[in-house]
Chains A and B, each alone.
Chain A
Amino acid sequence: MKRIYSVLVENHAGVLSKVAGLFARRNFNIDSLVVGETNSRDVSCMTIVSSGDERTIEQIEKQLNKKLDVIKVKTFKESMSICRELTLIKVRYNKENRRDIMENCDIMKAQIVDMSKNLMMIQICDTPERVEVFIEMLRTISIVEIARTGTVALTKCRESEK
């Protein structure tokens, strides 16, 4: 089962390694982990995507809560949230496939953000599934390198109002 943990932590040095270390030590998976500041300066938000059986999911939440640098843990399913991932993809292009690439970008609402004589950089910001689909499409052409941010997520507005 996949779960998203939105973890508010004190914005101290070393907190990231404590949280990451907890996952390693207790044999929990990390599919992705993103850290950034929140609207208050002394609080960071970590978005962690993990998977495991029911007991593991519960333990992850409890163990996170036990960490003294953790302010709050929210756990939710993907369906309860809006998830986004920003990805930059560098591809090699030529006269023959240029049109194809641009068409793909159009369909998937991706943007070309940089280019040179032979290379093109594409930016896509979408759900992790759609990013995956887009990367699969480009694989048939020629990907040079990829940088992905990992998932950031917030619960849907109506979930927050409950």
Chain B
Amino acid sequence: MKGSQAIVKCLQEEKVEVVYGYSGVAIAPFYDSLGETDIQQILVRTEQNAAHCASGYARISGKVGVCAVTSGPGATNLITGIATAYADSIPLVCITGQVNSELIGSDVFQEADITGAAESFVKYSYLIRDAADIPRIFKEAFHIANTGRKGPVLIDIPIDIQQQEIGKFVYPEKVNMRTYKPTVEGNAVQIKKVVKEVARAKRPIICVGGGVHLSGAVEEIRKFSKDNQIPVVSTMMGIGVMNSFDPLYFGMVGNNGRPYANRALNESDLLLMVGARVADRAVNRPDLITENKILIHIDVDPAEIGKNVGPTIPLVGDISHIFKKINEFEDKEDLIHKRKDWIDTLNSYRLSMQEDRPKIDTDKYVDPMKFINKLSIKLPEDAIYIADVGQNQIWSCRWHLVKQGRFLTSGGMGTMGYSIPAALGAKYAAPDKKVIAVMGDGAFQMSMMELSTLKQYRIKVGLIVFSNNYLGMVREYQHYSLQDRYNMVKLHETPHLDKIAEAYDMKYLRASTQNEAEKLINDLMSADESVLCEVVVDPMDLSK
């Protein structure tokens, strides 16, 4: 058996269904072997998107996303995708071809030190020096990517290693790494402390982050919140943990979040930070957050606890395991009565702290708030909604209502162009669900080459482009901070999206008034093919 066949065998052992990638000489032996199997291969149009596709797939399937590209520029193109996954802790195994082992270090054609270049964006990386190591390394890589704090693992494989004969293929049953033993079970003493504090608190609140999705702990958190009558707020990555219609859910925190969510956080006497890293976008001044409250920080990564804020009670472990244990404690005497005042107060904030939106001329433009709201009500309960980066992301965070579905976005890295490839991957993981990607005309032009991939593989997703011929989020920054000096933000000569759609044989819908928007949503809902929707918005509109 050759090295390349051994790699493919490893992917089969790991039950990999799909590999996203781009070919090239240094990865050709691998694809040659992969082609002989029934693993689906998806040829994207630029390498970065292979990683985004794998990310969308991983987030919906809960499995490791796999992408494979060639050496040199193929590998360096992948880095932004890897970094995007790393920032949001998405499990990926990224395979890169490499030049012949003997030539490494001599700057030959299409050589790049990819393990070195990607070091700060991977959970771990390997450069395979002997094909006999392939089974062990792949076993480790899949384990590392999808346990503990999840993240991308890079495997760099020189072409001669892919061609090397290996003896008998034996896939290891277990991983045995002395340096890697993530904590799963939470410390029992700490869990007891948490339960005690929760029972005692008068104004408790839970702030959920992306870690809850990654741990598969959505049901546990919903149960915990309901049983204990504790209101919940979320970070951007935590959207969808709670049903948006849950009366105990009070929206997203942070400077782009809801003022009443921030107020709830500030006025609580007990804050449970769950799978969130208390980063600058969610908490303005982490150092002040513990001033008047007990902070319980629950995370699988011990390095996150105390990084931005010192907790009163740290608790390391897998969120799903921990909350299963916490939910077993039965001491719920009259909590509904006890927490009623606090919840009433938060509801009064919710009613009184509604924000004003800028006035939109709805005969000329579509109001994105109304549009997203209508859209999310019309969408099936389990729909997958992917927001890109920019004003569309903030609008989506604030106005999209999640029921049983998912909300995906590049929260940590803020990578423009994420939504189309992520939708492509998400749709593969959930072919029966409606998948919608929402973006601005800037992000669209960063990944519109993937319309061709959608067409080639007959993948049906809805794409919504808010078009305003501006990089709206930066324009908004220039409005607030640079006295309206708009520079490098005007997208002159944006291509005609109808013609783009035509070029790719895609259905095209357009709305530039509120009435047209309603019709567009109905048409989009009934479409059984990929649709490119252009929604014209006011260039001077603000994200909130």
Contact = CB atoms under 8 A, between A and B. Distances in A.
Interface of A: 10, 14, 17-18, 21, 25, 55, 58-59, 62-63, 65-71
B306 interface: yes
Contact of B179 (A25, A62, A63, A68): A68
Interface string B116-136: 100110011001000000000
B303 A25 contact: no
B539 interface: no
B179 A69 contact: yes
A63 B307 CA distance: 10
B180 interface: yes
Nearest to A21: B119
A63 B120 contact: no
B178 A71 contact: yes
Contact of A63 (B127, B178, B303): B303
A58 B308 CA distance: 12
Interface string B447-480: 0000000000000000000000000000000000
Given A17-B116, A59-B307, A62-B303, A68 B178 contact: no
Contacts of A63: 303
A72 to B, nearest CB: 9
A127 B124 CA distance: 37
For the complex of A and B, the 3 pairs showing the least CB-CB separation, nearest first, are A62-B303, A68-B124, A66-B303
Chain B interface residue number, banded: 10 to 19
B180 A62 contact: no
A69 B302 CA distance: 17
Contacts of B302: 62, 65-66
12 contacts: A10-B179, A14-B115, A14-B116, A17-B116, A21-B119, A59-B303, A65-B302, A66-B303, A68-B144, A68-B177, A68-B180, A71-B179
Contacts of A21: 119-120
Contacts of B307: 59, 62
A67 B144 CA distance: 12
Contacts of B120: 21, 25
Taking chain A's interface residues, is the majority helix, strand, or loop, or is none over half, making it mixed? helix
B306 A68 contact: no
Of A14, A58, A63, A66, most buried by chain B (CB within 10 Å of CB) is: A66
Given A68-B123, A68-B177, 5 more contacts: A14-B116, A59-B307, A62-B302, A66-B301, A68-B124
Nearest to A69: B179
Nearest to B182: A66
B216 interface: no
B310 interface: yes
A70 B179 contact: yes
Nearest to A59: B307
Interface in B292-351: 301-303, 306-307, 310
Of A55, A58, A68, most buried by chain B (CB within 10 Å of CB) is: A68
A7 B293 CA distance: 36
A55 B178 contact: no
Given A66-B301, A68-B179, A68-B180, A55 B306 contact: yes
A18 B303 CA distance: 17
A10 B178 CA distance: 10
Nearest to A10: B179
Contacts of B144: 68
Nearest to A8: B179
A101 B307 CA distance: 50
Contacts of B303: 59, 62-63, 65-66
B498 to A, nearest CB: 46
Nearest to A70: B179
A66 B115 CA distance: 18
Contacts of B123: 68
A147 to B, nearest CB: 28
Nearest to A54: B310
Contacts of A70: 179
A60 B301 CA distance: 14
A70 B307 CA distance: 20
Contacts of B301: 66
A12 B179 CA distance: 13
